[in-house]
Structure formats: structure tokens, C-alpha cells
Structure 1
Amino acid sequence: MDHTSNEAFKLLKQLNLHLELESKYQPREKGLILIESTAENDNSICPRLRNAKVEDLWSLTNFFGLGMETFVLAVNILDRFLAIMKVKPKHLSCIGVCCFQLAAKVVEEDCNIPSVHDVIRISQCKCTVSDMNRMEKIISEKLHFEFKATTALTFLHLYHTVVLCHSSKRKEVLNLDKLEAQLKACNCRLIFSKAKPSVLALCLLTLEVETLKSLELFEIALRVQKHSKVNDEDMLYWRELVSKCLADYSSPECCKPDHKKLVWTVSRRTAQNLHNSYYSVPELPTIPECGRINESESEDSCEEMSSGEDSLGSSPPSDLEASFFFDNYQPRLKRLSFVPFVAMNNL
């Protein structure tokens, strides 16, 4: 009991600290409202462009095998920058990849941070390394180099741990992966950037507790709400929006970022210079009914087969069999040493 009390005290202390900091890292509301009111044909960022860029950020995060924290932080950096700067659509691609790189530098180990060249090539942002360096400097200065933010994911992890700590059953009845997937869906909608991170996380938690129909967990969630000083009016308003968002994302008509196939393409110049063996797997020699294949013939077959396995015709697997509307599929970057230029469409 003493151990449990100490753990609960430490968790509440962390919660209080992040509750004090959350407003500091929340995007400026006036800027978000300006984006919401921007028309599609205006030469400025509209909600559709912002949401599409967030989906691209998730595709990049997924492709390079980075964590959920990197994605959420990249979205936070993007929204905070867009809320204070008037950005033209042609600069959004460069801004997006810079936010992705900045988030990766904060969250990931050095060995896991993608190289700038790989990010430029895979994202097809059509900017140079110099462009990215200049843009990173602008973003850093405008945000006063404050990147390690308190986000809705921070509160979601804290709330989840608090519930488990106070639950008598002592088992993981709340699926954290599912809660993170739901948060991911909300991040793809501009409107949820206006919600306090603590409120957004609490809405996700209470909606999940409601589906579990656990009276004990419901009482714990109410105590968490009271401690976080979230009033019922705010909870009802954001819960309704979150519930509608999750219903939309769980419908088969919705196109999810995770469900887009990664398609490899090469430039025309590269395609002309590629050897034929890069496009097809060579036929294997016929195995004689009697006797054995001579050693030299066998070695040649293995060499050709290895080049065929690296052919550009192959593409990373899709994750259409997701158990929820997002899953943990994380394709890894392949080494394509023989290709001077490789791009990926439909991120």
C-alpha cells in the first residue's frame, strides 16, 4: 500500500506540472481560427491543406519506423508555427518535413533520426538541404527553440497510468494502443488543435471507459477530471466532437493515412540506365531429374536471384488488415544503392 501511495503521489505531481505547462505549448487560438476561415482558393493555408500535411507527417513517421511521440510532437510544432505565421501553400511541404526532423531530433535516439537527404527524397518535398536548414532556423527562432512540448499524448499516458494505479483489478483493461490510435485520428483534424491537450486526452479516456462499462474505472476517470479542473461543459462539448471524429474514422468510407500503399517510382533518366535484371527475377535453371547441378551454375543462379529480390517492382506491404483504424505497421527504409534517384508517391 505504501508503494502504491508513493507511485500515485509521483503521478499526480507529474500531472500537476504538465497542467501548468500545457497552455505554453498550445497553438495560438487566433491563428487557428484564421486558418479555419481561410477559403480553398486563397493563397494561404486552409484546413484541408493543414490536415493533408498532418497525414503526410504520419506516413513519414510510419515509414521511417519512428514512435507516436515523434508524430504528435511534429504536429504540435507545425500547428504552433502555422498559428503565428502567414504561410503560402508552396512552402508547406518544406515546413512539414522540417517539423518532422525537429520532432525526431527531440524524441528519437541519434541512430534512429532519418538523414535529411532521405527525408527529402521520400517526402518529395521538392526542397534542398539548404532550404531545410533555413526553414528549420526560421521555425526554431519563431518558437524560441521550445520543442519538447506537453501534448495530448503526454496526458493520455499519464491518465492511463493513473487509472491502472488506482484500479483494484491491477490489469490492463484499457488498451493504450487503441487510445493512441484514436488520438492520431484527432490530430488529423485541425479543430482538435484548439482543445486543451488535457481535455482532449480526458475525452478519449472517458469514451473508452464508457465502452468498457466499468463503474470503478468511471469513478476513477471522474476523480481525474476533478483533479485536472476540467468543467462538465467543456467535457461535453469536446466529447461530442471526438466521438463524431472517431465514428467517421472507423467507417469504411474514410481514407486513413495508414491505409495508403507505398508505391516506388523512378525518374525517366534512371529507368533508362537501369539493367534489365532490376525489373524482373530471372528464370531459375531446370533441375535435372537425375544427377545434380554443377557448382558454377548454382552460384550464378544465386547471384542473379539476389539482384531480382531488390527489384524496384517490389513495394512495401500495405496494412489494410488493421484491427482498428490504425495499426503498428512501420515500414523500414530500404537500401537502394544502385538507384541515384528514388521517390515515393502517395505519402
Structure 2
Amino acid sequence: MDGFKLMRELRVNYEQEVHYLPKETGLALIESTTQDDGRISARCRDAKVEDLWSLTSFFGYSTQTFVLAVNLLDRFLATMRIQQKHLSCVSLSCLHMAAKVTEEECNLTPSVELIRIGQCRFTASDLGRMEKIITEKLNFKPKAITALTFLQLYHQITLSYSTDRKDALSLEKLEAQLKACLCRISFSKAKPSILALSLLRKEIEAIQSEDMLEIVYHIQRHLKIADSDLLMWSERVAQCLSDYASPECSKPNHRKLQWIVSRRTAQNLHSYRSVPELPTIPEGCWDESESEDSCEDMSSGEESLSSSLGSDAEGPFFPLHLHHQKHHQHLLS
């Protein structure tokens, strides 16, 4: 695709991105919620997004699947006030919906396996019912405009116009940095076009390419992005990635994405077919006229995958493709 067509596509996506943003009032409510409130807090949401990152890596899903799942999750959480006990069902439903849109059918993980590996306490029927609820509440459409949409377009435009070291600008690294930012709810308030441009500018500044930096300025002028907005989010991106790279930061442990489990645990994962008896989701429980959620319990006491994956060691349990994940670890360092 030539540069002119790319810029035209960029403009179309820029005009449409507003339709795929989470409600600001809903995000603000989540950020103001305390951890012991029983509702979804920012910390609770961030931990669940880290779980989604772990699961997408586990199943070999693409960055597009992860980003779409987070977009669906944030939009739903910002629309519906749900309790913490329902968050696992909601987040896993978002992942399953995203995978059905972006992944090849032969690569899709069955819902039963998704629930088991996700260590959740609800049924495949519950998952299907929750997907229906999310679809209705969000008026779900397969295509969504996200920060990844812009990041990929920006990368293509930069390579189309640049005469500098094109191999120095890694889309894979930019995608990894985007995933790190999405693990913080604060970045859900950024317009996807600005968040993606902030990531691109930071990376181009790091590789010291004046030619590419000029292209960033051209994109900014083309989309009429204010200097103050780009500067503010660029600073937040830089701080986030700096914090993320520090050893004190709590983040998904990519080594744990290759579970090392005992033979007994592996056998249980393969053979365990039953789930606890739990009520299914009542049909009318997500009435928008109510601020409180009246669903029956679907899950309880679930830990974050980022802290619970893997423990006892006797042999690898992951599929072979996950052994190739190790080379990604340097991207955020």
C-alpha cells in the first residue's frame, strides 16, 4: 500500500476511533473504587489484564487478540458496574470473543480448555451466556479501532516515507511496549491514535532518527493532534515503560508463561472434566436501569495468573510454539 492510501486510511480510522473508546465516567468510577469495595478497582482490572496477557501468550494468540480483548473488557467495565467475583468470566469471555475475530479457526482454543487453563470456576455455558451479554451491551462489531490499529499504520507509513535505517524500527518491540501500557487502566483514557503515536515517537527518539522523527511530526499535523496532548501521553508512556523495566514492578512473568508442572498436575489438567456446581447467569441480571449487579455467584477466590502460573517442576507442559517466546523477553528491557 502506497503512502497516500495509508494516510487516507489513517484519517478514516482517526475519525472512527471515538466509537470504540471506553466511557470516561466509567473509567473514573473504577479508578475511584477501593480494593475492599467488592467492585472492580483499578488494581483489580490491571491484574486481570495481566492474566489476559499471560493467556494470550500461553495459547500463542496474536497481539491483535490481546489488544481487542482489553478493549472489549474496558468498554464493558466502563459501561456495567460488576462485582469482582464476576470479573474472571467477563475477561475470559472478552478473550474468547477477540480470538474468534482475529485468530484462524484451527488455532482457536475450545472454551472448556480456556476455562480450565484460566483456572476459573464457571462452565462453558456461563461463558457463552456472558459473551452474549457483552455482545448486546457493546453492540459488538468484529472490527474495532484500537491503538494497535494506529501503531501498525504508523509503522507502515514511517517505513514508506523514511530513507533512514528501516530495520531499526521494530514493530514487534512497539507492540510489546503497547501491551505493557495496556496493563494500566490510565492508558485506557488515551485516544488510541495519540497513545500509538507517543509510543512511536519515543522509540524513534531512542534510535535517534531525525528522518523518522520528521515523519512523526507530519502524522501529527495530518491528524491535528495537539502538541500538549502528545507531550503529556509521551511522558506517561516513558514513565510507564521505565517503571515496567524496573525489577520492583509487578508484571506478568514471561518465564512462567512456560509452565513447569509436575506429571500429576499435567495429568489433572488433561483429565479434569468437571467443574463445581454453580448457578448459571440469570437472563435479566444486567439491566442497565440498575446500578447494582444482581447476578448469582459465578466464581470466587481466583488468583491472578501472573502470580499463580507454574510452581512444581518436573517437565514442560506448554505447546512447542511457546518455547519460541523466550526471545521476546528482551523487548521491554
Question: Which of 317, 320, 332 is equivalent to 1:325?
Answer: 332
What is the rounded CA distance, in whole Å, between the counterparts of 1:313 and 1:231 in structure 2?
Answer: 55
Question: Which of 79, 88, 96 is equivalent to 1:93?
Answer: 88
Query: Does the 8 A contact of 1:98 with 1:132 survive in 2?
Result: yes
What is the rounded CA distance, in whole Å, between the counterparts of 1:133 and 1:183 in structure 2?
Answer: 29
Q: What's 1:176 paired with?
A: 171
Between the two proteins, the alignment pairs up a number of residues equal to: 282
What is the aligned-residue RMSD (CA, Å)?
Answer: 2.3
Is 1:121 matched up with 2:116?
Answer: yes
Question: Which of 3, 7, 13 is equivalent to 1:12?
Answer: 7
Question: Which of 208, 214, 222 is equivalent to 1:219?
Answer: 214
Show structure 2 runs of 5+ residues with no match: 272-312
Deviation, 1:324, is 2.3
- Distance 1:34-1:260 versus aligned 2 partners, 3 A rule: farther
Q: Residue type matched to 1:119 in 2?
A: L
Deviation, 1:253, is 2.3
Query: Does the 8 A contact of 2:51 with 2:252 survive in 1?
Result: yes
What is the rounded CA distance, in whole Å, between the counterparts of 1:98 and 1:321 in structure 2?
Answer: 26
Deviation, 1:170, is 6.8
What is the rounded CA distance, in whole Å, between the counterparts of 1:32 and 1:146 in structure 2?
Answer: 21
What is the rounded CA distance, in whole Å, between the counterparts of 2:35 and 2:199 in structure 1?
Answer: 30
Q: What's 1:233 paired with?
A: 228
What is the rounded CA distance, in whole Å, between the counterparts of 1:270 and 1:167 in structure 2?
Answer: 53
Provide the TM-score with structure 2 as the length reference. 0.80
Query: Does the 8 A contact of 2:56 with 2:62 survive in 1?
Result: yes
Alignment of 1:161-172 (within 5 A): 161-169=156-164, 171-172=166-167
Query: Does the 8 A contact of 2:17 with 2:146 survive in 1?
Result: yes
Q: Residue type matched to 2:66 in 1?
A: F
Q: 2:315 aligns to what SS in structure 1? A: coil
What is the rounded CA distance, in whole Å, between the counterparts of 2:155 and 2:252 in structure 1?
Answer: 25
Cα displacement string for residues 138-177 of structure 1 (whole angstroms, at most 9, x for unaligned residues): 0010011224210000000000110111112473331111
Deviation, 1:215, is 1.4
Provide the TM-score with structure 1 as the length reference. 0.77
Q: What's 2:276 paired with?
A: none
What is the rounded CA distance, in whole Å, between the counterparts of 2:328 and 2:70 in structure 1?
Answer: 26
- Distance 1:321-1:164 versus aligned 2 partners, 3 A rule: closer
Alignment of 1:117-156 (within 5 A): 117-156=112-151
Cα displacement string for residues 274-325 of structure 1 (whole angstroms, at most 9, x for unaligned residues): xxxxxxxxxxxxxxxxxxxxxxxxxxxxxxxxxxxxxx93134684982223
What is the rounded CA distance, in whole Å, between the counterparts of 1:130 and 1:39 in structure 2?
Answer: 31
Alignment of 1:1-347 (within 5 A): 7-169=2-164, 171-261=166-256, 262-264=259-261, 313-315=314-316, 316=318, 319=326, 322-325=329-332
Query: Does the 8 A contact of 2:260 with 2:314 survive in 1?
Result: no
Relative to structure 2, which stretch is displaced further, 36-45 or 162-171?
162-171
Answer with 1 or 2: which has the greater Rg: 1
Deviation, 1:15, is 0.2
Deviation, 1:258, is 4.1
Query: Does the 8 A contact of 1:70 with 1:100 survive in 2?
Result: yes
Query: Does the 8 A contact of 1:70 with 1:108 survive in 2?
Result: yes
What is the rounded CA distance, in whole Å, between the counterparts of 2:38 and 2:176 in structure 1?
Answer: 33
Show structure 1 runs of 5+ residues with no match: 1-5, 274-311, 327-347
Higher relative CO (Cα under 8 Å, sequence separation at least 6) belongs to 2
